[in-house]
A and B are shown apart, each in its own frame.
Chain A
């Protein structure tokens, strides 16, 4: 315990920087992927061939090991190996692969009679999408967002292996110092805490946005 405190005292600044970096490296890709997944998921929901291509591509992307992707991307994008952009893009791809699928699934799950009713009430397509379709798909979409966010928080650690910041740096530091535990434990605790907090926040968001989805139990 004492060792942990003394490590924090001397390296507190580094730990904080790593934590903040971890947060934005993990969350920025989810945010980008979330925004992109709405139109892509809608297309996949609507057009069979788009769905097929999008979901197959997604599955393939998911099978590429993260470390390999991080090493490949600079070659494809022409970025430097140490550019955090590689991490952001790699994790955006992973999140997107997951979220497009859940968005399409969420839209599929919306009762078609409800949509017909909306059209018959006089909704124009765009307004119907935002006022009826999207809200009704939200429970499934947010479940996907939960999985993607937690997965990202853990995956960012891998970025340290190619020399990019985040809590993963604390692990590599510990190994470099001959399996010196304090940084490893601190990194582990912070990364798990971060994942739990993110999860709780999304669940809270889910409850706030979709109070009706729990109203069914009579």
Chain B
């Protein structure tokens, strides 16, 4: 766990980058600091590995004050991924990845050998190892940056706008890759971004920083979307927050109707094995526009309900056989009751009565 205890950073010219920040970053989770530029999110991140020293307050990692160790040693135990990768242009990819282990006294040969394994882990072909960073694409460089940060297997990983310098398609890949890696590694990750969609996608918890270094809200992304703390958060979160919030809810909680249920004059037609073929009705056979399976989120289910000619999403089992229907009215009821529960849980006791 990383704890900020009343941390303030004030520069000699009077600017306050962070004011009296107190928050706890949970172990093994991705915590995202998001906000407009100049809101203090990067300063907060950099105080964790002492790239910036706070004016007052303290930061604890698993109970130990970060100032209790020499800064260079502290930093070798904290992975760091910088914007645009920040790779060493004069070192090959393998030597870049081997940097921290070599600083820790591991022999270069050993460090390079494990660097090779890491390249694969972040989805890069091993033959890129002998290239220089300038010979790689932006997305590849960023992957090397992640591999370099992971090389010494640090429990904590700091990521400073890691995907802001790559195009949207590559960014999407890298985000997926990070979630996959995190599923395997379970690091304590603090990630800074100005992109609220990235924050919502990647964060287990999101800290929204407002102008003037104010912590506007610190909550799981679903709560951020369901109940923004104030106008600032709600404008940052943007449009369609209700619909986007559905992606955090498990779609299998909605009540199912049997497959032979007739909806508005339409019945689902299936082949001999039970796989859906389409909706049979007075206009002939209409397409289902897709199906969903186990693990689909409520956003996917809702989308299928909207697209379906019958207003019903078709659920299929692992073999692709239809095993249930989600109807619009059941969906609406489920969404309504969940939102009511969430708002009630978030409301302060006075307001809730």
Q: Which residues of A contact B (CB under 8 A)?
A: 111, 113-114, 116-124, 132, 135-136, 210-213, 215-216, 218
Task: Specify which of B72, B83, B84 is in contact with A122 (CB 8 Å cutoff).
Answer: B72
Instruction: Please determine whether A136 and B89 come into contact, CB atoms closer than 8 angstroms.
Output: yes
Instruction: Please determine whether B72 and A124 come into contact, CB atoms closer than 8 angstroms.
Output: yes
| Smallest CB separation, A170 vs chain B (Å) | 43
| Smallest CB separation, B270 vs chain A (Å) | 53
Chain A residue at minimal CB-CB distance from B76: A122
Tally of B interface residues using CB under 8 Å: 27
Instruction: Please determine whether B49 and A120 come into contact, CB atoms closer than 8 angstroms.
Output: yes
The complex places the Cα of A169 from the Cα of B75 at a distance, in Å, of: 61
Determine if B163 is an interface residue (Cβ-Cβ < 8 Å).
no
Which 10 residue pairs of A and B lie closest in terms of their CB atoms, listed nearest first? A117-B86, A122-B76, A215-B132, A120-B80, A122-B75, A216-B134, A113-B86, A212-B132, A212-B90, A122-B72
Determine if B343 is an interface residue (Cβ-Cβ < 8 Å).
no
Instruction: Please determine whether A117 and B82 come into contact, CB atoms closer than 8 angstroms.
Output: yes
Instruction: Please determine whether A116 and B84 come into contact, CB atoms closer than 8 angstroms.
Output: no
Task: Specify which of B74, B82, B100, B135 is in contact with A116 (CB 8 Å cutoff).
Answer: B82
Q: What DSSP secondary structure best describes chain A's contact surface?
A: helix
Task: Specify which of A116, A210, A212 is in contact with B86 (CB 8 Å cutoff).
Answer: A116
Determine if B51 is an interface residue (Cβ-Cβ < 8 Å).
yes
Task: Specify which of B49, B87, B132 is in contact with A114 (CB 8 Å cutoff).
Answer: B87
| Smallest CB separation, B80 vs chain A (Å) | 4
Beyond A111-B89, A215-B131, A218-B134, 19 extra complex contacts between A and B, CB < 8 Å: A111-B86, A114-B86, A117-B88, A118-B88, A119-B75, A120-B158, A121-B80, A122-B100, A132-B90, A135-B90, A136-B88, A210-B90, A211-B132, A212-B89, A212-B90, A212-B91, A213-B89, A215-B132, A216-B134
Which residues in A have their C-beta under 8 angstroms from that of B51?
A: 116, 119-120
Instruction: Please determine whether B100 and A121 come into contact, CB atoms closer than 8 angstroms.
Output: yes
| Smallest CB separation, A107 vs chain B (Å) | 14
